[in-house]
Amino acid sequence: MIVMKFGGSSVADAERIRHVALIVKEFLPRKPVLVLSAMGDTTDHLLEAADEALGGKVSIERIEGLHLAAIGALGLGEDVARTEILPLLEELKSLLIGISLIRELTGRTKDYLVSFGERLSVRVAAAYFRSIGVKSKALDAWDAGLRSDSNYTSAEVLDESYASIAAVIGPLVESGILPVVTGFIAKTADGHITTLGRGGSDLTATVIGAAAGAEEVQVWKDVDGILTADPRLVKDARPVSTVTYEEASELAYFGAQVLHPRSMQPCKRTSTPVRVKNSYNPAAPGTRIVSSLEAGALPVRAITSKKNVTLVDIVSSRMLGQHGFLARVFASFEERRLSVDMVATSEVSISLTLDAAHDLVALKRELEKIASVDIRKGKAIVTLIGDVSRSSEILETTFGVCARSGVQVQMVSQGASKVNISFIVDDDQAGEVVKALHAAFFA
């Protein structure tokens, strides 16, 4: 058994759904379970409809139009619309009327509202599979066994889900049925609909894969897998053949928006391989995500950068041998709800980075009570994701590249994550540094 997950753009309209079906048919011998996102930008459109409802206007035209057009273009006929789609659209409309009357949108209502996207898309897709002779059943996540806590808009999957999913999905697949399951959504024990956070369908797929003992979870995208660098920056960026779960989650945080950051956890627990595949190029092997790499792997998997970062240097001789100094410094950040990205410390100083968007005047005044503070804008973080047990080798190459290009490294941090080495350079040098490093590590 395998799990195949397709995101919103892969099921954006009738043509894309046909294309997905062609790919899935190839994999039928491996007994797939499908996990789908909402069609196209439906999730955003639902959120926009909620905003309109808050302003007193109720309209489901765009969502209704998209789904009914797809049903028409897929040749699915009246009764699919009548029995599967129209009741959901009715319910959605009633909900929007409710929102327009009470003029309030709680997290719980929001999750109930966006759930219609995935609930509609799986019904359209499953009906299409049946129409081309593939036995198929649409399943809402809760009917597939997914339970979550009640942290609306960003719920956690509960452990009890694993046994229930195995009990539902296993027998379905064994009886030759293609289950088409909603990504992104779940239900609490007391029956309220939740969502797992934007982009959460990846997580649904890995939870189902881990729970049902899949031999592989395939996440289908529109790129050839995880790339060694941003292709807009580095022309010869190329797909990475294999990365570890840790490297993949770290990459998700660092801008390579290939996978939902939390989605690696379930498969890591069960060592279920995850593969990122390209729906525009199904023959390409994609990137495989596994527990450990084969011998002979390069030390670095990928290089990313984040521009427009502010570097804060806090220096105080009072820090020497003291306790509580770091706590005081970080309390100032906490009070102002500032999120810190990188940190490096010495006996008498702390360097850290923040997004440039923040106004730091008040923070500076506060910190200057205990230390001298230097704030420098216009910096970039360059991050190497790879095998930190080979850090000396990685740093040697990195510093060599920087020295030869006359680039001054202004801070270095080798995280506890064992896969991430980051350093700070001037913003306008970041592009060149990434290119030069890419040439050095991947040539």
Given the rule CB under 6 A, which residues bind ligand ASP? 7-8, 37-38, 43, 117, 183-184, 198-201
DSSP 8-state class, residue 292: S
Q: CA 141, CA 174: separation in Å to the nearest integer?
A: 19
Least Å distance, CB 44 to ligand ASP, is 7
Judged by beta carbon distances under 5 to 8 A according to partner kind, the member of Mg ion, ligand ASP, none in contact with residue 184 is ligand ASP
8 binds Mg ion (CB under 5 A): yes
Our CB check for Mg ion shows the closer of 8 and 209 to be: 8
Q: CA 353, CA 366: separation in Å to the nearest integer?
A: 17
Coil vs helix vs strand at 217: strand
Find the DSSP H helices in 153-255.
Answer: 160-174, 201-211, 245-253
Give the residue closest to Mg ion by C-beta: 8
Q: Taking a C-beta distance cutoff of 8 angstroms, is the pair 125, 34 a contact? A: yes
286 binds Mg ion (CB under 5 A): no
The first and second tokens of residue 224, run together, are 């050839």
Our CB check for Mg ion shows the closer of 118 and 387 to be: 118
Judged by beta carbon distances under 5 to 8 A according to partner kind, the member of ligand ASP, Mg ion, none in contact with residue 109 is none
* Residue 395, burial from CB neighbour count under 10 angstroms (0-12, 13-18, 19+): middle
Judged by beta carbon distances under 5 to 8 A according to partner kind, the member of Mg ion, ligand ASP, none in contact with residue 198 is ligand ASP
Our CB check for ligand ASP shows the closer of 33 and 433 to be: 33
Cα distances from 9 to residues 39, 94, 279, 281, 357, in angstroms, run: 7, 27, 10, 15, 30
40 binds Mg ion (CB under 5 A): no
Least Å distance, CB 8 to ligand ASP, is 5
37 binds Mg ion (CB under 5 A): yes
Q: Taking a C-beta distance cutoff of 8 angstroms, is the pair 283, 228 a contact? A: no
Dump the DSSP string for 13-27.
Answer: SHHHHHHHHHHHHHT
Q: CA 153, CA 110: separation in Å to the nearest integer?
A: 7
Our CB check for ligand ASP shows the closer of 39 and 436 to be: 39
Our CB check for ligand ASP shows the closer of 142 and 325 to be: 142
261 binds Mg ion (CB under 5 A): no
Our CB check for ligand ASP shows the closer of 36 and 314 to be: 36
Q: CA 192, CA 270: separation in Å to the nearest integer?
A: 29
195 binds Mg ion (CB under 5 A): no
Our CB check for Mg ion shows the closer of 179 and 199 to be: 199
Judged by beta carbon distances under 5 to 8 A according to partner kind, the member of Mg ion, ligand ASP, none in contact with residue 183 is ligand ASP
β-pairing, 349-355 vs 372-386, is unpaired
Judged by beta carbon distances under 5 to 8 A according to partner kind, the member of Mg ion, ligand ASP, none in contact with residue 364 is none
Contact positions vs Mg ion (CB under 5 A): 8, 37
